Amino acid sequence: MKIFLGPAGTPAKSTIEGLSAVRQLGLQAMEVQFSHGIGMGLPLAKQIGQENKKHGVILSIHAPYYINLTSSEKRKIKESKQRILNSCERGHLMGAGNIVFHAAYYGKQGKEEIYRHVKEEILDMIKVIKKKKWDVQLCPETTGKHTQFGDLDELMRLSGETNCNLCVDFAHIYARNNGKINYKEIFRKLKPFRQLHCHFSNINFSAKGELNHLNMDHKPSFEPLARQILRIKKNITIISETPITWKDSLKMKKIFEGLGYKF
């Protein structure tokens, strides 16, 4: 098994400088953040990919937040898909395998109808990815609000029926379940996956779910998750989404090392 840890966003002034910074920190991964829009051109994405050949950082991308594959407005669905595909193109050029995004909202439609619409749009985007020969995977993320599509069971089903990947955000699961999380049960469900792409942070929540991410001085504690990861012996990437991303990645590393894992 191999564990890859790293921050959401660069620990340096730019993404390209972040590659060496991640390595200098003793970390192995970084998730490029397009969360508030894609400001990166294709030439820079290609340059990042070339530079990373020297560093070997495991890269992924978080696509923009402005995505809803089940909007009542067709224009918004089209724009959402284009944002994901634009992220995919840049991901291919920079060698970022997983393209993470929040897929949809339930709205007034039933959950099964929402699921069907999301599945259709995912399959349509997969056709484009194959046609373009982009070496990336769509990676819808478990979500933290009850209004959002994307609990673990929905994404497991979606992955099985479309062959997309999924991102397991443990903080979102914790918030969605009102401060309850069973790591053993989560990994039992994820048994078919050979490699896992995950997010971790501490989190503030209400009865409606996620409110905001917190640093690792808050709940949930990372150590029980780390212990369970060492038991399942799978390759896993864990991206820190706390407000102090790389610093908390180093805290995660220290916890794993304290449990006997050698990076």
Task: Tell me which DSSP letter residue 129 carries.
Answer: H
CB-CB neighbours of 39 under 10 Å: 7
Q: Residue 159: its pLDDT value, please? A: 98
Give pLDDT, residue 108.
85
SS3 184: helix
Only one residue has tokens 């373009």, namely: 132
Amino acid at residue number 243:
P
- Cα separation, 61 vs 93, whole angstroms: 12
**Residue 221 DSSP one-character state:** P
Alpha-carbon span 88 to 98, nearest angstrom? 9
* Distance in angstroms (rounded) separating the CA atoms of residues 54 and 12: 17
150 DSSP 8-state letter: -
pTM: 0.97
How far apart CA 76 and CA 241 sit, in angstroms, is 27
Given this model, what pLDDT does residue 68 score? 96
Interatomic CA distance for residues 76 and 66, integer angstroms: 9
User: CB of 142 within 8 A of CB of 106?
Assistant: no
Q: What is the pLDDT of residue 107?
A: 85
Phi, psi at 180, each rounded to 5°: -120, 135
For residue 55, give both structure tokens. Answer: 């560093």
Q: Set out the domains of the chain in order of their start, with CATH numbers.
A: 3-258 (3.20.20.150)
Comparing C-alpha atoms, which of 263, 235, 228 is closest to residue 249? 263
Q: Determine the Cα–Cα distance for residues 10 and 28; give it in Å rounded to an integer.
A: 12
pLDDT along the chain (263 residues), means of 10: 97 97 98 95 98 98 96 96 98 98 92 96 98 98 96 97 98 95 97 95 94 91 96 96 96 98 96
| Residue 197, H or E segment | strand 195-200
Tokens 């619409």 map to which residue?
117
CA dihedral 152, 139, 13, 220 (to 10 degrees): 10
pLDDT value of position 109: 87
Residue 17 has a CB neighbour count (10 Å cut-off) of 13
Give exposure, 201-225, as e/b (b: 16+ Cβ within 10 Å): bbbebeeebbeebbebeeebebeeb
DSSP character at residue 241:
-
Distance between CA 106 and CA 89 in Å, rounded? 28
pLDDT at 217: 87
